[in-house]
Chains A and B, each alone.
Chain A
């Protein structure tokens, strides 16, 4: 047995290596400077994300690293940029909250940093083992963040629920991985793709069971029906900035991982998984739209809204073609800004200095805070998919991909559920513009929140001008994964 004397290829993973080292350095700074370093660490974390984004962009075509356990190509780079943007917004959103609620712990930005590192590694996983490890790195950081306000009952409940169900889903994922390994004899995505491409005849039943378990584990992470039960409770119980993080970056990472797992190793077995994804997608779209109708808490409403969005995104994966992947990536790019903006709005909802979360608290917002009401209206119209706002284009491209793939029923159901979904988005607009305020919300909104709120609203409105460069970038990313 020859000893390996050369270093492995590491350059494609430069951003991840940088983030890991920066995380440890910032942790040390936090430990020695104490709680007063929260402000510095927040900005340092954002700066770290910026450097990581530059490293991602400048690494060119990427390639495999660490003996094929890690891969970075156009697809991974696109997803990583989106994740870094989403996480940076989450850090920005949390700063004001942590100071006001006196929940300031310097570990908070560090945990976001490690979670983000896990997400970047998920996107680049090229092996069932690296898939699992990166997923755990991400999830473990998120479990801690869900219950970071451990002296409130709701936050601890949310954290515990998330942890127990997350552990269960990891178990299912591992069970699926072991079945796949047992039938294919390799864990590497490249190896699996080669094995399945060479395979002829009937797909072994055990392999199908393995893939279904793998899909179940991943569906839990993207909170798709029937693995969505944790989402409303965790969204409601976790501190709002943490919910803002949950709603954006981990969803992008898990979805990108989902796309890679389905399109790379199992591309040739599409007949075995397509029907499962079609079912999950229809169920998510339907439950997301119907469940949101009866919600009174805006965080729970956002949870159902995100379940619905995951359903639309899964339409793109179920299509199983390059157009579908392009649609998913474009959808994710618009999804960030709508969600971050809405959560900035939720964080700005204070009355007498205390956060309020009921939808009814928005009544009369158009008279007391006309600009904020306008911004929220833009986000709601965008999420409902009203052209020419950003949210429309994501839906348009995934439905077109489904039609291309011959999944007409799926596209029709998607359009029907977005009509139902439009009802609850419009209800918020109606409450803001036509209901009388009982007691107005506070005027003082921090500078950070204002900038994020209005900035995302502008991006959502003007997205139509940038549609073609973003579409081209998404298409290049999709081609790098599935080929033209």
Chain B
């Protein structure tokens, strides 16, 4: 009973804040509602017994992604009123595409006949939840059975990093850059000059 109540509470808040994300006029409010939606989704994960995913959602999405969004929204001077101008014009076609996709999902769900899964086609049975924590179970899989995918993900991130540097880093001649070696090599006697200033005179 309590669990059902909690589920409906969190689910309702998630959906409501999702609606607010796209409908609020102030983009900063949108991001804040997005964070609220993330928190409630995390609570839903906890209810499902997926505590690791819940924590990751908060750490990664609230801690990093949402804060990044806030930065972008505040730093870029985007005129959101202008962005919304085409909204009414594109609404019919957008709604039509959405309806088609919805109809397709209903078709697919209506025809849902899951092919019987044989025992050996599922290589990774779900461990009993009261013996193994989520984190342990995921870790035991990611670093063993799925080490190939894990390493590939690492390579993709490496390429993303190289790409970001290649496309944005430029050496500018009009910017003074700090040179630690040069700073450390400076000696006081080279740069400090003791001047005796006479009374009533300047340097």
Contacts and interface: CB of A to CB of B under 8 A. Distances in A.
Interface of A: 1, 3-4, 8, 13, 20, 24, 27, 65-70, 105, 107, 110-111, 114, 117, 121, 129-130, 133-134, 136-137, 140-141, 143-144, 147-148, 150, 179, 182-186, 188, 191, 194-196, 198-199, 204-206, 209
B11 to A, nearest CB: 22
B108 A140 contact: no
A65 B151 CA distance: 14
B117 interface: yes
Interface in B103-127: 104, 107-109, 111-115, 117-118, 121-123, 127
Given A69-B146, A110-B162, A144-B162, A133 B152 contact: yes
Contacts of B151: 20
Given A66-B148, A130-B148, A136-B156, A183 B114 contact: yes
A188 B163 contact: no
23 contacts: A1-B131, A3-B140, A4-B144, A24-B158, A67-B123, A68-B123, A114-B155, A114-B162, A130-B149, A133-B149, A133-B153, A133-B156, A136-B156, A137-B159, A183-B115, A184-B115, A184-B121, A185-B115, A188-B123, A198-B115, A204-B115, A205-B107, A209-B108
Given A147-B167, A204-B113, 17 more contacts: A1-B131, A24-B158, A66-B147, A67-B144, A69-B149, A114-B159, A141-B159, A183-B112, A184-B115, A184-B117, A191-B121, A195-B115, A195-B117, A198-B115, A205-B108, A206-B109, A209-B104
Nearest 4 pairs of A and B residues by beta carbon: A206-B108, A144-B163, A185-B117, A66-B148
Contacts of B136: 1
B108 A144 contact: no
Nearest to B163: A144
A185 B122 contact: yes
Contacts of A133: 149, 152-153, 156
Contacts of B127: 1
Nearest to B127: A1
Contacts of A70: 148
Contacts of A144: 159, 162-163, 166-167
Interface string B144-180: 1111110111011011101101110000000000000
A140 B167 CA distance: 13
Contacts of B137: 1
Contacts of B153: 133
A143 B160 CA distance: 10
A49 to B, nearest CB: 17
A179 B108 contact: yes
A242 B137 CA distance: 43
Contacts of A188: 121, 123
Given A4-B145, A188-B123, A140 B152 contact: no
Interface in B17-51: none
B132 interface: yes
A151 to B, nearest CB: 9
Interface residues of B, number: 39
Contacts of B108: 179, 205-206, 209
A27 B111 CA distance: 51
A181 to B, nearest CB: 11
A205 B109 CA distance: 9
A99 to B, nearest CB: 17
Contacts of B109: 206
B113 to A, nearest CB: 5
A186 B159 contact: no
Nearest to B151: A20
A198 B116 CA distance: 10
A147 B168 CA distance: 11
A154 to B, nearest CB: 15
B149 A143 contact: no
A195 B167 contact: no
A130 B166 contact: no
A292 to B, nearest CB: 31
Q: Which of B118, B146, B152, B153 has the most CB of A within 10 A?
A: B152
A464 B17 CA distance: 67
A194 B121 contact: yes
Interface string B54-69: 0000000000000000
